[in-house]
Amino acid sequence: MDCTIATTTDGFGAQYQKILQTYIFCKFYNYNFLYKPFSAVEHNYDNDINYVDKVENLINLKNNITNINPNETIRELDYNSIVRPFFESNIDICCQSEHMKFIKDCYWSNKDKNFFNNERFNVAIHIRRENYVDRGLAGDRANTPNSYYLKVMNQIREKYKDKNILFHVYSQGFINNFTDLASNNVKFYLNYDVFKTFQGLVSSDVLVISPSSFSYVAALISDAEIYYKNFWHNPKKEWIIIS
């Protein structure tokens, strides 16, 4: 049976998450997954006409998986009722599978893993904050206080006190919103390029994610040590849960 993802118009992280999880679901059930190229992606803040092409280049699946034929009838798998329950109930098996390895190999095949190009122990921190695309509906996931992230940063400092740590804080807003996180080993990337941000998250030695599909999917394809805050997507067993 030929299957693909249901049409969606969410942000890049949520769409990538649905694609990779649907692909893995199909492989486990011996369905033929056909790739549906992106048509629209939210959070294109600069109205970049090449935004969709940049998304395709970032995940690098369009040229590695057979694409759908728009003239043929193909079953669209609903994410919330079919794919997500399977993946999140079997997240460790899915993430250890050859199918996830394929997704990760596609991602890395057109990139240099030495993204930061330094001699530091790189810790990436994603802090989800409200933006105009949310239309005031981001909810509590965008309100995790800075004190939570500072607590995690200090735990990492203590755990890796023998390392030359450099924290990379990716978020939105103004620098005066983050003064309590500032230090001589912290760099801020505010309102930064989404594609470089994602690469920074995936390429880090340690990744601190927020309640967000953007950093959650980065964690799924990352080989970093992951610090996770409980929200509606399940963690892998080895992730470090901080409440």
- Domain with residue 206: its CATH number is 3.40.50
Global pTM exceeds 0.85: yes
Q: Is it the case that residue 136 has pLDDT exceeding 80?
A: no
What is the pLDDT, as a whole number, of residue 46? Answer: 82
Same domain for 72 and 166: no
Read off the pLDDT of residues 89-135 as tens digits, 9 standing for 90 and up.
999 999 999 999 999 999 999 999 999 999 999 999 999 876 545 54
Angle made by CA atoms 217, 13, 83, in degrees to the nearest 5: 65
Average pLDDT over residues 48-76: 93
Same domain for 185 and 87: no
Domain span at residue 152 reads 121-241
Same domain for 211 and 125: yes
Q: Is it the case that residue 243 has pLDDT exceeding 90?
A: no
What is the pLDDT, as a whole number, of residue 137? Answer: 47
- The answer to whether residue 215 sits within a structural domain is yes
* Distance, CA of 230 to CA of 243 (rounded, Å): 7
* Distance, CA of 174 to CA of 189 (rounded, Å): 10
SS3 assignment, position 240: strand
Strands (E), the chain: 2-5, 32-33, 75-77, 121-126, 165-171, 186-190, 206-208, 225-228, 240-241
What is the pLDDT, as a whole number, of residue 141? Answer: 57
Query: Of all residues in the chain, what percent carry a pLDDT higher than 70?
Result: 95
What is the pLDDT, as a whole number, of residue 131? Answer: 58
- Look up tokens 């390895």; give the residue: 101
* Distance, CA of 17 to CA of 214 (rounded, Å): 8
